[in-house]
A and B are shown apart, each in its own frame.
Chain A
Amino acid sequence: MTKKVLESELFIMLLFAGAVLTMPLWLAPIGAGYPDLMQKFAIFGLFAIGYNVLFGLTGYLSFGHAAFLGVGSYAAVWSFKLLSMNVLPAIFFSMIFSGIFAYMIGFVSLRRSGIYFSILTLAFAQMSYNLAYSVLTPITNGETGLQLTLNDPRILDAASSNGGALPSPTLFGLKMSGFEGFYFCAVLLIIGFFIALKISRSPFGLVLKGIKSNQTRMKFTGFNTRPYLITAFVISGMYAGLAGSLMAVTDPLAGAERMQWTASGEVVLMTILGGVGTLVGPVLGAGIIKYFENIFSAFNDRSLHEVLAFLPDGMENIVVTLVRPFVGEGWHLTLGVLFMLVIIFLPGGIMQGIDRIFGKSKKKKAAEAAAATARMGEEQHG
């Protein structure tokens, strides 16, 4: 196959859609073929794809994206409460509200760049989190989290009563649980991926990359970089809102902890682990992290001993003691270690690793190295 075919949109989309839709098949052997987990892959994949539109293309490191995720969740649950259990209005309103919210935060934060931008987004996310817990309780229901109740008006589908039980989200009557739920999220993931692919290959996307590479030059080349950055910020905020609403679709509950800045850290990690600025990387990163979170956090002493039973007794105990802190409750420790290792040794993420293994032309590598050193030099002086 020629390079042209391999890089064509159609080919990439077919490959991606094929891989996503057949997930139940090829994930089954590694124990991840069940809908709940795969749904998570899709949701966090969307979150990371959107984050990458900002961080990957423009290089602006936001620590506030969890806030948009939270806004999306709240908006979706409110849509379930007030309008209908149909997921489409919920998704629509989530994206609208998170987009507006992102516009407001981006409008202010993007007046600065670099570390100042990071701290501004961090401050806004922290404010949102604190407010969601305190004065905004009428909207967010504070610590308890926003939930469905039987007395919710649900004006659009008031006629259908659920026999006294809480209703669950549907797509025109189709229940959003099990494989239906997964395929719904999977289709959205594919659409989201397609849009990100289009963006990165559009003139608009090239301008964003130009901003990442050399914002000064962009300004002296006649580009008004601010609206470009705000647009990218809003787009990535809307992706986060979509992911947040899908979380509410899976489980109609929204809590403020989703907005905490450590949650923003997680999406940064997913993007970096997969490969910042690459197309598939963020999805891959999200999948890997959610997969290992699922496996690692499920372990406890007993299951560890079972798994390691093939070892001689003494050895088994030692290994269990060594491994124990990293699994179960200790999953975050593994996450932190992983975070450090990736940034230290593989700042380009898994996609860079794959490139290294399967070899890239030497010329390109040398070029990258040269570019990297040049950048370092500039930063030192600048």
Chain B
Amino acid sequence: MAEAEENTVLHIADIHKSFGGLHALSDVDLQVKEGTTHAIIGPNGAGKSTLLNVVIGRLIPDTGAVVFDGEVITGKTPHEINQAGVARVFQTPEIFSDLTVFDNVIVPILSKRDGSYKFNPMAKLSAQKEAHDEAMKLIADFGLKADDPSGSLSRGDKRRLELAMCLSQHPRLLLLDEPTAGMSRHDTNSTIELLKKIKEGGMTKVIIEHDMHVVFSLADRISVLAEGRIIADGTPEEVKANPVVQEAYLGG
């Protein structure tokens, strides 16, 4: 296992994960620096989503560990990992489709404020002034309407809502699983702008993406995953120039 370098906020150390006989991830070792946007690219089935699942505690790796902010988070439950400051946007938006946009956004704010469990059945939701204001501001920033039922939003709006939910927690690390998949060019561009804006705030991001336009507009560093292994790692220019990558992924 490589030593963690300075400023590393997320260290994915020597992860192995197999399902039955299939090696989904082998020897994956990655370091993500504080405040950077780190893209993970690779063909379908390369193990990108598996890797994110390992980070957020949905899957437990066979060997290896995930170190977040100097602390091993492997084996912790998803809610503990979230409380430690990791949020994730899913490939298909995971929102509370029975609830309004407002409720969707205030839930993560409450989680950030109250921790993983708080018994306050007699408190008034409508009286949570700060949380309320924060949610309203975020909803306005994202161009959503607080009273809309979230289940009926367009796909693009659902993605935006999910992003808003994650950002409302001010996570130290934001994981994005194909945030622009299925979006129109216009929506994709506005999402890129949005993510760039977040970047200015100094939040660390790990992004999985197929769209090279998105990757090269956002990423400070790129890792290429193929058949569960990292075959290249470097700045966008280095990766672009890497012949192995060109052959395996960029198609020469």
State the A residues within 8 Å of B (CB).
Answer: 195, 198-199, 201-207, 209-210, 212-214, 216-225, 227-228, 231, 235, 364, 366-368, 370-372, 374-375
Contacts and interface: CB of A to CB of B under 8 A. Distances in A.
Nearest to A369: B152
Contacts of B58: 220
Contacts of B117: 223-224, 227-228
Residue among B103, B115, B116, B124 with most chain A CB within 10 A: B116
A323 to B, nearest CB: 40
B116 A224 contact: yes
Interface residues of B, number: 42
Contact of B121 (A202, A209, A372): A202
Given A210-B107, A370-B152, A374-B151, A201 B83 contact: no
A203 B123 contact: yes
B98 interface: yes
A176 B106 CA distance: 46
30 contacts: A198-B121, A198-B122, A199-B122, A202-B120, A202-B124, A202-B125, A204-B119, A207-B110, A209-B99, A209-B103, A213-B96, A214-B96, A216-B94, A217-B95, A221-B82, A221-B107, A221-B169, A222-B79, A222-B111, A222-B115, A224-B77, A225-B79, A367-B148, A367-B149, A367-B151, A368-B151, A370-B151, A371-B97, A371-B98, A371-B149
A222 B169 CA distance: 10
B108 interface: yes
Contacts of B110: 203, 206-207
Contacts, number: 122
Q: From DSSP, what is the main secondary structure of chain A's interface residues?
A: helix
Given A198-B122, A203-B118, A221-B111, 4 more contacts: A203-B110, A214-B94, A214-B97, A217-B94
B88 interface: yes
A338 to B, nearest CB: 26
B96 A203 contact: no
B228 interface: no
B98 A222 contact: no
A108 to B, nearest CB: 19
Contacts of A206: 99, 103, 106-107, 110, 125
A199 B121 CA distance: 5
Nearest to B98: A213
Nearest to A53: B121
B77 A209 contact: no
Interface centre among A205, A223, A366, A374 (most CB of B within 10 A): A223
Nearest to B84: A222
A217 B104 CA distance: 10
Contacts of B88: 220
Given A210-B99, A367-B151, A374-B151, A222 B112 contact: yes
B39 to A, nearest CB: 21
A204 B107 contact: no
